[in-house]
Amino acid sequence: MKKGLIIGKGWLGSRLEFYLEKNYTISTTKRNSNADNCYSIDFNNYNSQKLTKNYDFIIVTIPFGRRNSIEELNLRFNHLIEFLEGYKGQLILLSSTAIYPEINEEITEESISIKNLINPYYFIENQLKVKYNQLVILRLGGLMGDDRYLSKYLNLDNQNLNQMVNHIHYLDVINLIQKIIIST
């Protein structure tokens, strides 16, 4: 049975664990945990831990977050790279659609120039790409499902109610990740 690690057992990470543990042996990380198969690792206040077990795949769900400064994000992901040092298996990064500029048109990987991608997201993704050529990046926006639904986040007093937004259901993300794992 394939073994996987989910780095970041937050809202999406815990749902990934629930679904993936049906077919794989799953371990997780969280800032603070005493749960079985969940290791306490805080990538903001890192203490030089290293990956000690062999995993067939690792899924990184650590949020990029607009609430964090560029320095905080760089520190967090530099610690992640240090933790993963030497890892050779499948690596899946759940990134953000915030990497794209806010323009009112459809964007594809082919339609936008790298120079128009937003830092620090692009910088972080690129650091991981340089270190891990087996990296798969999924850029997500507007995660919905379970207790997350649009009306919770919609401000009806907003002047831009006709503005386009990205949404993806977490089950679609999980199904996509399962297809990636199976294909490797």
| The pLDDT value given to residue 184 | 73
Dihedral sign, CA of 112, 115, 119, 120?
A: positive
Which two three-digit tokens encode residue 121?
């997201």
Q: How many domains does the chain have?
A: 1
Q: What is the CATH number of the domain that holds 76?
A: 3.40.50.720
Report the distance separating Cα 91 and Cα 51, nearest Å.
13
DSSP run (H or E) holding 12: helix 11-20
pLDDT in tens, 54-104: 999 999 998 766 677 778 888 888 899 999 998 999 999 998 888 888 777
State mean pLDDT over 35-41.
88
Residue 127 pLDDT > 80 = yes
Show the domain range for 24: 3-183
Q: What are phi and psi of 16, to 5 degrees?
A: -60, -45
DSSP run (H or E) holding 127: helix 121-131
